[in-house]
């Protein structure tokens, strides 16, 4: 199964991706995680990525397309793909279509998780994640058993640098302006579109996503 997972920051893409990968066994590629790993090595490219990401702006298409094309090419295509956060512009969507076409592996579905802006800011500013195993929590909605400590592996939880209210508002603006047109691009092209209410409890969203993908 090859699926693009879309939605504004905080809609629950990363959270739902974990459920979907457990259920369907596809490879999960999060462009945000891949870019954060790239910037962590302190290279010149890493510094450039940091400047865009910390400001809540999209990283330029040429950089993202190159990095994601390499990441996709490295995967075992038979396992399927869950692309989370990529594509985020119509240019990126065109480049992805081209690459998947060349591989003979077209996209099968576009899953869009929608949610109200007021909810998103609260979710993002309250998010904490585990730097070791990647598990995601929320200080109020999904707290760990012991404050600040990952239930799964015991590591100390961290807050992302771009998870401040000011930067979140910028990320939301970028989503509305640059990423929403990607939904129109896929819908106009007759792709299988699945739209879910990300404001619902997470088990409910997970169940609806799994049922829609399996149908």
Axis-axis angle for helices 61-73, 31-39 (nearest 10):
100
Interaction of residue 39 with ligand AP5, rule CB under 6 A:
no
Could you tell me which of 99, 83, 91, 95 has the C-alpha nearest to residue 33? 83
Sign of CA dihedral 201, 147, 14, 11: positive
Could you tell me which of 7, 4, 5 has the C-alpha nearest to residue 172? 7
**CB of residue 120 to ligand AP5, shortest distance in Å:** 8
Separation in Å, CA 127 to CA 14, 39, 112, 158, 163: 12, 21, 20, 9, 8
- DSSP codes of every residue in 118-174: HHHHHHHHTEEE-TTT--EEETTTB--SSTTB-TTT-PBPB--TT-SHHHHHHHHHH
Interaction of residue 127 with ligand AP5, rule CB under 6 A:
yes
Binding pattern for the stretch 44-73 against ligand AP5, x by CB under 6 A and - elsewhere: --------xx--xxxx----x---------
- For ligand AP5, the closer CB: 78 or 94: 94
Interaction of residue 80 with ligand AP5, rule CB under 6 A:
no
Region of 8-16, 37-45, 99-107, 149-157 interacting with ligand AP5 (CB under 6 A): 8-16
Q: Which one among 2, 26, 32, 112 touches ligand AP5, defined by CB under 6 A?
A: 32
The answer to whether residues 47 and 40 touch, using CB atoms and an 8 Å cutoff, is no
**CB of residue 164 to ligand AP5, shortest distance in Å:** 12
70 among known catalytic residues: no
Q: Which of 160, 169, 191, 192 is catalytic?
A: 160
Binding pattern for the stretch 192-211 against ligand AP5, x by CB under 6 A and - elsewhere: ------x--xx--x------
132 among known catalytic residues: no
Q: Which of 2, 39, 50, 127 is catalytic?
A: 127
Torsion of CA 95, 101, 107, 110, to 10 degrees: 30
Residues in touch with ligand AP5 (CB under 6 A): 7, 9-15, 31-32, 35, 52-53, 56-59, 64, 85-88, 92, 123-124, 126-127, 136-138, 141-142, 171, 198, 201-202, 205
């Amino acid at each position: 199964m090859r699926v693009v997972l879309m939605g504004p920051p905080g809609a629950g893409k990363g959270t739902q991706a974990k459920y979907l990968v457990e259920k369907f066994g596809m490879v999960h590629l999060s462009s945000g995680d891949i870019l954060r790993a790239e910037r962590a090595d302190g290279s010149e490219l890493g510094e450039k990525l940091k400047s865009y990401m910390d400001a809540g702006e999209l990283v330029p298409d040429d950089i993202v397309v190159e990095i994601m094309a390499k990441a996709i090419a490295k995967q075992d295509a038979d396992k399927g793909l869950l692309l989370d956060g990529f594509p985020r512009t119509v240019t990126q969507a065109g480049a992805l279509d081209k690459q998947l076409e060349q591989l003979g592996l077209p996209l099968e579905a576009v899953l869009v998780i929608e949610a109200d802006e007021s909810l998103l800011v609260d979710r993002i500013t309250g998010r904490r994640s585990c730097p070791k195993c990647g598990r995601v929590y929320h200080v109020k909605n999904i707290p760990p058993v012991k404050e600040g400590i990952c239930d799964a592996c015991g590591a100390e939880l961290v807050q992302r640098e771009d998870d401040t209210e000011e930067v979140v508002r910028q990320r939301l603006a970028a989503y509305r302006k640059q990423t929403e047109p990607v939904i129109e691009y896929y819908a106009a092209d007759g792709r299988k579109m699945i739209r879910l209410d990300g404001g619902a409890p997470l088990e409910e969203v997970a169940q609806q996503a799994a049922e829609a993908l399996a149908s």
